[in-house]
Amino acid sequence: MCRVFVFSSNGSASELVINGLSALRNSAQADPMGPSGVINHSDGWGFTVVSYGVSTALKWYYRSLTPIYKDDNYQSLGMVIGRLLMSGESYGIFHVLNAADKKLIRIENVHPSMVYTRDGELHVVHNGVVNKYALFEILRREYGVELNVDDASDTYVLTHLIASMYNEVGDLESTIKELAGLLREINGVESALNTGILLIKPCCAELFITTMYNSDVINNERRRRYYNLFIGRLNNGVFAASSTLVRAYGLAKLGDTRELEPGMGELIYCRLSTSDFNCSKA
């Protein structure tokens, strides 16, 4: 179980990112919404941020096995990110990790996972569990991709699958729709598919979030309230975040927010532009 924060902005995103990072850090240290009580997310953290200025794109990709609330780099990272995002279009995905399988805690499995595609870099953060062996079988059979799946996290395998599907389809929204059908077909969601999906191209970026639950989450109110994603609109951008950041640590105060609650077998996906969001079902 993990926590995520994503954003897009068409102007200075400093205040948004500072508030989001603070809420993420607090939720990592003490998450009061855990299904079994207060938990922490101590298995590492990471982010990808990209800013498109007048003539070039600036990207920062960071991952650490140190919890965000113990990372000595946290303060300086926040300040540098703030300066990076002073103007232009910017996008970011952030994640704190509470690994379902502690044997897989290694830097390669800290989020965001990244895979190169035909058009640029695909970065993915994920809260929930999907069946990595079923996804890997599709990767191996349909796309000829070989991975050391026993040492890989489900998010690492998922990112490779999304990249392979995108390389064939050539459109990220269509890829997400196809992924929804595939996961239903193989019963691949073991708890939730709450993702931030960032495709970084030389010219521009695309940012989506997804949310999809299995029946155990849908039928358990406490688990559902924990997994629910929120999406919000500000004067200069859009953000999405895990429930703890919004309900317990103040992100609801940033702007107009709403909760996303998928039905049985349903995937909700939202495209985040720098000024608005558009949500659909697949």
Query: Which pLDDT tens digit goes with each residue over 123-182?
Result: 999 999 999 999 999 999 999 999 999 999 999 999 999 999 999 999 999 999 999 999
As beta bridge partners, residue 279 has 270
Q: First CA to last CA across the chain, in angstroms?
A: 24
Q: How confident is the model at residue 88 (pLDDT cuts 50, 70, 90)?
A: confident
> What is the mean pLDDT of the segment spanning 48-67?
85
- Looking at per-residue pLDDT, the higher value among 17 and 102 belongs to 102
pLDDT of residue 74: 86
Helix crossing, 172-186 with 132-143: angle to 10°?
Answer: 120
Percent with pLDDT over 90 in the chain: 75
Task: Enter the pTM of the model.
Answer: 0.96
Cis preceding-peptide flag for 112 (omega within 30 of 0): yes
